[in-house]
Amino acid sequence: MTLDWLGLFPESIRLILLKLPKAMLDHLEEIRIREERPLEINAAGRHHFLDRDGGLSLHPGEAYKPTREDTRRLLDLISNHSLYTMEEELRKGFITIPGGHRVGLVGRTVLSGGRVEHIRDISGFNVRIAKEIRGAADEILPFLLDRKRGRVMHTLILSPPQQGKTTLLRDLARQISYGSWGNAQLQWPGLKVGIIDERSEIAGCQRGVPGFDVGPRTDVLDGCPKAEGMMMMIRSMSPDVLIVDEIGRPEDAEAVNEALHAGISVIATAHGSSIQDIGGRPALSALVQQRRFEMYAVLCRKGHERSYKLYDGGQRTLQTAGAGPPGGDAYA
Amino acid sequence: MLNLIGAILVLAAGTLAGFYQAHQFALRPRQLRELILALQRLETEISYGFTPLPDALERIGGGLKEPLKTLFIAASDYMSPDYGLSAEDSIRKALNMHWRRTSMKTAEKDVLDRLSGVLGTSDRQDQIKHIALAVGQLQHEEAAAREDQAKYEKMSKSLGLLIGALIVILIF
């Protein structure tokens, strides 16, 4: 596990993080920095406050409190000393940094015409560490293959935030693109994969080049709105499989429909903890009712335990399984 | 004979010192002009090019003459992630390392020092205002530097020779 993201912290915070045990550092999921309030980390689904010596505690009283200077430096470093180039990112509320890690920002918003123009006085940061876990999709991928027709099924992956949707999606893209199907008898070649990466999370692109290994036959449309991106991909890049994160708006559903009719397999994710959950969202529920998806995968995690359930298009349970590779929070 | 050689040496040294001083008076406005143009280019890079600060400084530095070239490129280098420095620290470090090679004075350095504290830390409009302010101050300094040049450049040359002569007279 590389710790490339450590260089982006101001020295005071970096030294505290370096005092953490190696195992903890490797499994960090989030580092939350709030000006003049306790420094918090999330690892393996649990939160801790950090004191000056890297000690963990659940009591905020003893924790290190990042100063104004700390937050100012952090912002300077994560914006590559150029906050003025981040107007679009500030409108969306997060910055993607090298390595595909994402930093969420809060502060005082500046409005223009009723919409958020950008964020000023940024005082709260949530650094989400992206992980490339090869093999995260090993368990699920064999179920997503339509062996008769030699294609990947239309799949919707559901899970609440922080359960590993994006990590799973990234590994699916990689394995489909390489043609490693987790089955020695299957001699299919790799397929053309198109990723619409609206928030630069799946591929972690820097200047258009993926930071993660997403496979040799994968094209990434970085920072593009999903609905528009899907249409652009279909028209210009002739993908076999389209991969898209967090669909939910009506235009997304429309674009998914378009892709299905063009004979392209779609693997999408959505927030939710069960298929019933998305019934309340008109755009998605229409897709469910029309049986557009052939497979649903629902991820869930309790502490270190991680599991998934698979349902077919008619919402019948196909498979319920526990953890995959060791390291319970592989989907972090 | 030896006395004569000594006297000539002292005179030559005085003259050279005078010419050096005069040269400094001539260089300062020239470097100030170049610095102002560089900052105006930086403003363009920020407002129209959306160029990240390290790239912008490197690009601008490439088109400058020494010693400003080294100053800009060093600031850009210090901003690389290997150093872990903020933009402000990087620029201050470059200023401390390379300022003495320029002919400019502390007033100009203070302007850049103040600018370094805000560069890259706000949105475009804000950056443009700060750079324009710095340019304004530098232009003020440039006018003063030109006045100094007109007043003192020739005088320094003569003064060097005269001081050399004075020393020769005092010694003998």
Task: HSE, CB side, 13 Å, CA atoms: give it for residue A130.
Answer: 29
Q: What is the mean pLDDT of residues B37-63?
A: 89
Q: Among A103, A128, A153, which residue terminates a domain?
A: A128
pLDDT grade for B36, boundaries at 50, 70 and 90: very high
At residue A28, the 3 state secondary structure works out as strand
Please give the share of chain B, as a percent, with pLDDT higher than 70.
100
Chain B positions in Cβ-Cβ contact with residue A81 (cut-off 8 Å)? 52-54, 79, 86-87, 90, 119-120
Q: What is the pLDDT of residue A329?
A: 37
CA distance linking residue A219 with residue A227, whole number of Å: 16
Instruction: Indicate if A150 and A226 belong to the same structural domain.
Output: yes
Amino acid letter for position B35: L
The reported pLDDT for the residue numbered A321 is 67
Q: Check which CATH number belongs to the domain holding A307 and give it.
A: 3.40.50.300
> Are residues B121 and A77, on separate chains, in Cβ contact within 8 Å?
no
In eight-state DSSP terms, residue A7 is: G
Is residue B49's pLDDT more than 50? yes
Residues A66 and A156 in one domain: no
Is there a single domain that holds both residue A76 and residue A153? no
Residues A146 and A111 placed together within one structural domain of the fold:
no
Q: Is residue A331 part of a domain?
A: no
- In angstroms, rounded to a whole number, what is the distance separating the alpha carbons of residues A297 and A280? 18
- The confidence score (pLDDT) of residue A20 equals 85
Kindly report, residue by residue over B6-28, the tens digit of the pLDDT. 888 888 998 999 889 888 888 88
Beta carbon pairs, A and B, within 8 Å: 57
pLDDT of residue A331: 35
Residues A103, A109, A110, A116, CA torsion sign: positive
Give the integer Cα–Cα distance in Å for B163 and B106.
27
Residue A326 confidence (pLDDT): 38
Question: Percentage of chain B surpassing pLDDT 90?
Answer: 16
Interface predicted TM-score of the whole assembly (ipTM), two decimals: 0.76
How is chain B split into domains, by residue range? 30-152
pLDDT at residue A110, as a whole number: 84
Contact B124 A72 (CB under 8 A): no
Least CB–CB distance from A7: residue in B79, B84, B123: B84
Q: Are residues A60 and A155 in the same domain?
A: no
Among A182, A64, A74, A91, which residue's Cα sits nearest to residue A126? A74
Confidence of residue B135 (pLDDT cuts 50, 70, 90): very high
**Are A177 and A308 in the same domain?**
yes
Dmax over CA atoms of chain B, in Å, equals 72
**pLDDT recorded at residue A2:** 62
Cα-Cα-Cα-Cα dihedral sign, residues A200, A203, A206, A212: positive
Query: Which uninterrupted H or E stretch holds A162?
Result: none
Single-letter code of the amino acid located at B117? G
pLDDT tens, per residue, chain A with 332 residues: 466 788 888 888 888 888 888 888 888 888 999 999 998 998 877 888 988 888 888 888 888 889 988 888 888 888 888 888 888 888 888 888 877 788 899 988 888 888 888 888 888 999 988 877 787 888 888 888 888 888 888 999 988 877 778 888 999 999 999 888 776 667 788 889 999 988 888 888 877 888 888 889 999 998 888 889 999 998 898 999 999 988 888 888 888 888 888 889 999 998 888 888 887 788 788 888 888 888 888 887 766 567 788 888 777 777 776 544 433 333 33
A211 or B140: which leads in pLDDT: B140
Torsion of CA B30, B101, B109, B113, to 10 degrees: 130
- The alpha carbon of residue A73 is apart from the nearest alpha carbon of chain B, in Å, by 6
**Co-location of A124 and A164 in the same domain:** no
**What is the reported pLDDT for A325?**
43
Pair A200, A52 in one domain:
no
B163–chain A nearest CA distance, Å: 51
Looking at residues B106-134, what average pLDDT do you find?
Answer: 87
* Strand ranges in chain A using DSSP code E only, listed in sequence order: 28-34, 40-43, 46-50, 56-57, 94-97, 101-112, 115-128, 145-146, 151-152, 155-159, 193-197, 218-222, 241-244, 265-271, 295-302, 305-312, 317-321
**Residue A199, token pair as written in the block:** 């928030």
Say if residue A249 is in the same domain as residue A107.
no
Residue A165 belongs to what H/E stretch?
helix A165-178
CB distance A7–B79 less than 8 Å?
no
> A294 near A153, Cβ under 8 Å?
yes
Which residue of chain B has the CA closest to A90?
B123
Residue (of A184, A179, A151, A139) closest to A267 by Cα position:
A151
| Separation CA A59–CA A48 (nearest Å) | 8
Chain B residues with CB under 8 Å of A79 CB are 120
CATH code of A52's domain: 3.30.450
CA distance A25 to chain B (A): 20
Residue pair A136/A306 in contact (Cβ under 8 Å)? The answer is no
Cα separation, A262 vs A121, in Å, equals 47
In chain A, which residues have their Cβ closer than 8 Å to the Cβ of B124? 84, 87
Domain range for residue A148? 141-321
C-alpha separations of B92 from A94, B86, B107 in Å? 29, 10, 15
Task: Look at residue A191 and tell me if it is in a domain.
Answer: yes
C-alpha distances (whole Å) from B53 to each of A230, A247, B44 are: 33, 35, 12
| One domain, residues A211 and A264 | yes
According to the model, what pLDDT value does residue A332 have? Answer: 35
Interface test with A, best of B46, B60, B80, B86 (most A CBs within 10 A): B86
Angle at B163 between CA B157 and CA B164, to 5 degrees: 95
The reply to whether A134 falls in a domain is no
∠ Cα B131 B132 B136 (to 5°) = 115
First to last CA, chain B: 13
Judge if A79 and A38 occupy the same domain.
yes
Distance, in Å, from the CA atom of B12 to the CA atom of B129, rounded to the nearest integer, reads 49
**Using a CB-CB distance cutoff of 8 angstroms, which residues of chain A are in contact with residue B87?**
76, 81
**What is residue A17's predicted lDDT score, i.e. its pLDDT?**
86
**pLDDT, tens digit (0-9, with 9 covering 90-100), for B70-88:** 989 999 998 888 787 888 8
What is the identity of the amino acid at B163? I
Which chain A residue's Cα is nearest to B80?
A: A80
Q: Looking at the DSSP assignment, which residues form a beta bridge with residue A116? A: A111
Which residues in A lie closer than 8 A to residue B129 (C-beta atoms)?
none
pLDDT of the residue at A309 = 84
Is the minimum CB–CB distance between A158 and chain B shorter than 8 Å?
A: no
Instruction: Count the domains in chain A.
Output: 2
The pair of structure tokens assigned to A154 is: 């239309």
Identify whether residues A11 and A122 lie together within a single domain.
Answer: yes
